[in-house]
Amino acid sequence: MYKFNPMTQTIVEVKEATRFERIKRTPVPGWVMLLITFVPPLLIILCLIGCGSEEIKTVEYYKTHVDEGKAKIAECKNNPGVMKENPNCINAIAAYRESDTKHVHPKGKTMDDFMPTYTKE
């Protein structure tokens, strides 16, 4: 199909619209875009938070279950960057330090000798 262009005084070939060009797109309402944008990531985050939680055990628990405490401390030492904020690691180490048995250093020092002491001036 040809059409005369009066501005340029030329005849221009005009293509017919393809099937996809004929379809008029309706704009998506704003609330639908908000749902599409924010709901899937929120669902993924909630699933990840719920799946990765482990039961937090107390210092008293680790004092009575010494083997589990030692295993937890070993696990925490293997990955200190991630595990230093883990409540179970903190509780297991605290139970180890508070236990009745003094862990003696070869030079006769206990664990308490290596802990910093803070005093008010």
Closest CA to 92 of 56, 116, 52, 46: 56
Q: Give the confidence band of 23 by pLDDT, cuts at 50, 70, 90.
A: low
Instruction: Give residues with Cβ within 8 angstroms of 3, minimum separation 6.
Output: 11, 12, 13, 14
Q: Give the confidence band of 108 by pLDDT, cuts at 50, 70, 90.
A: low
Which is more confident, 18 or 61? 61
DSSP H helices, 1-121, are 19-22, 30-51, 59-64, 66-78, 80-83, 87-98, 111-114
> In this predicted model, what pLDDT tens digit does every residue of 24-82 receive, in sequence order?
667 778 888 888 888 888 888 887 776 656 788 898 998 888 889 888 888 888 887 87
What's at 58, amino acid-wise? T
- Locate the domains of the chain by residue range: 16-111
Contact (CB, 8 A) for 73 and 91: no
pLDDT at 27: 76
